[in-house]
Amino acid sequence: MNKLPWIDVIKGFGMICVVIGHIYDGDISRTMFIFHMPLFFFISGYLLKPNKNFKEYLVKKTKHLIIPYASFLIPLYFAFRGFPEFKISGILSFIKSPLLGGRMLSGSLGVFWFVTCLFLTQQLMNYIIIKFNIKISIIMVFLMLALSYINSIFFPYFWLPWNANVVFAAAPIFYIGFLCKEFNIKLNTILVFVIGVIIIIGSYYIKNNTYDMKYAMYGIPGLTFISSVFLIFVIIAISKIISRLHFLKNFFSEIGKASMVIMYLHQPIQLSLRNNFGLSRVVLLVISITISYLIYLFFLRFILTRAIFLGSSLDMKKIRIANLFSK
């Protein structure tokens, strides 16, 4: 259980923003994209507990992120792609996308890029924070930010498996999150809200002030990065207010606890419903979050599902053939 009550709240609030960004388009979507994925890199940095045992940290995060990633990806990939031709060329073509991940996964699987990118970012930043002092770490992070802009501006079609190239853009945001916790950085709430409003209004006029991290589209160099960070601070301030309101706190906290399941499932659900039933966006938003949350509750009931879909290390240790579906 998180010691900070607003952490699950901000995950819930942020995940709702992710779903809104995928269901809506135009200015609403662009505004969500400024901060919604950067927010989760920031939170991950904020929650980082540096581990000097790199192998242990790698194993821990593999269990927590990569096993659920594969557990969701494999059945969904078969569901939407069908089965390959039983020829070498057909099989190789079929497995190419899930193995490379990142930009190769689109449509209902489009959000999966985030998990592998987050995993790589965590490994890299844990190593840097352990091995280097803060001055060297800041220099390295600035260099990564510069490389991300080179990728975005001069080589926009260049990408690496698992979206490893996006790590250069994610790491600076991750590191800011870490520093905010490490030095207990706090900003004036009123000032943050004022700047946030200015950024949102300005973004309606400056259309390219937005992020699409998956495709290495980082907006206006410097400005969009700063816009993203300030809007993250706005969301933190809102989440802290919500965490003092019992009903809203419980609602957003529950969504936050289910945030990874919602992330994996909201696109398959909402795209299937949109393509087959033509439902309104509000209805798609409510249904995709609700169904994903109910599936999360189902996964909580069993050792096996908690282990492979929720990444529970404790349940992975408990798994035995005789009690796979024990409560």
What's the rounded Cα separation, in Å, for the pair 152 and 165?
A: 10
Sequence-ordered list of residues with C-beta below 8 angstroms from that of 69, at least 6 positions apart, any chain: 112, 115, 116, 119
Confidence of residue 84 (pLDDT cuts 50, 70, 90): low
240 pLDDT band, cuts 50/70/90, is very high
Q: Which of 81-85, 118-122, 316-320 reaches the highest mean pLDDT? A: 118-122
- Residue where the block lists tokens 């091995």: 131
All residues at 6 or more sequence positions from 284 whose CB lies less than 8 Å from its CB, including other chains: 23, 270, 273, 274
Mean pLDDT score, 244-262:
95
Region 265-294: mean pLDDT is 94
Q: Phi and psi at residue 212, in whole multiples of 5°?
A: -140, 85
Give me the residue spans of the domains in the chain. Answer: 6-323
Q: Structure tokens of 20?
A: 């809104």
Q: Is the pLDDT of residue 322 over 50?
A: no
> What pLDDT does residue 320 have?
64
Cβ–Cβ < 8 Å for 58, 327: no
Mean pLDDT of the chain: 92
Q: How far is Cα 9 from Cα 238, in angstroms, rounded to an integer?
A: 9
Query: How high is the pLDDT of residue 88?
Result: 67
Q: What's the pLDDT at 53? A: 97
Q: What is the pLDDT of residue 199?
A: 95
Q: How confident is the model at residue 318 (pLDDT cuts 50, 70, 90)?
A: confident
What pLDDT score does 85 carry?
Answer: 65
Rounded to whole angstroms, the Cα distance separating 292 from 280 reads 18
Q: What is the DSSP letter of 111?
A: G
pTM: 0.94
Residue 262 has pLDDT above 70, yes or no: yes
pLDDT at 321 > cutoff 80 = no
**76-37-59-260 Cα dihedral, nearest 10 degrees:** -50
Strand, helix or coil for residue 245: coil
pLDDT at 1: 44
pLDDT digits (tens, 9 = 90+) for 169-181: 999 999 999 999 9
Q: For position 4, what pLDDT does the model report?
A: 82
pLDDT of residue 300 exceeding 50, the answer is: yes
User: Does residue 275 register a pLDDT over 90?
Assistant: no
Alpha helices (H) along the chain: 6-23, 26-47, 54-61, 67-81, 88-100, 113-131, 134-154, 167-182, 189-205, 223-242, 246-257, 259-277, 281-300, 303-308, 313-318
The pLDDT > 70 percentage for the chain reads 94
On the question of pLDDT at 189 being above 80, the answer is yes
